[in-house]
Structure 1
Amino acid sequence: MARTNPIQFINEVRAEVSKVVWPTRREVVLTTIMVFIMAALTAVFFSIVDLIIRSGLQGVLGFFGS
């Protein structure tokens, strides 16, 4: 395995980092808001599913139970 010079490695890292396209502040804010909205919608969805399953199970257990 070839070993690289630490100075050469740092120069290559700098070259690669300069190619990165960083998001704007607006893009970061919008995507963060979208993540929170999607998380809230997912929480509501699974809460409703949980409520439906729980009600169904209570109905079935109540029908066959005492």
Structure 2
Amino acid sequence: MAVQETAIQQSFMSRTKRFVRDVKAEMKKVNWPTRKEIIAHTGVVFVTVVLIAALIWAIDAVFAKALQFLIK
């Protein structure tokens, strides 16, 4: 029984080491964005979020007014 546990542990350790090695190799292939690109993309996301929030607010206001009109 102890022999099987040792073999399983070694198998787990070798698979873990291989996984970490493969992750390092793949991370070297990643094309990381520049600081300028990150700032530009962040600006686009911020503007998009603000516009969508304003749209949702406007639609909510219209439905609230319509509901008030129907209730009165």
Deviation at 1:32, TM superposition (A): 0.4
Match of 1:41 in 2: 51
| TM-score scaled by length of structure 1 | 0.79
- Please, which of 17, 21, 26 is the counterpart of residue 36 of structure 2? 26
- The residue matched to 1:49 in structure 2 has which SS? helix
Gaps of 5+ in 2: 1-10
1:1-57: CA deviations, max 9, x gaps?
A: x65625443332221111111011111001101111001001110110011000000
Amino acid of the structure 2 residue aligned with 1:18: K
> TM-score, normalising length from structure 2?
0.73
Note the aligned Cα RMSD (angstroms).
1.7
Give the match for residue 63 of structure 2: 53
Ranges in structure 1 where 5+ consecutive residues have no aligned partner: none
- Aligned pair count reads 61
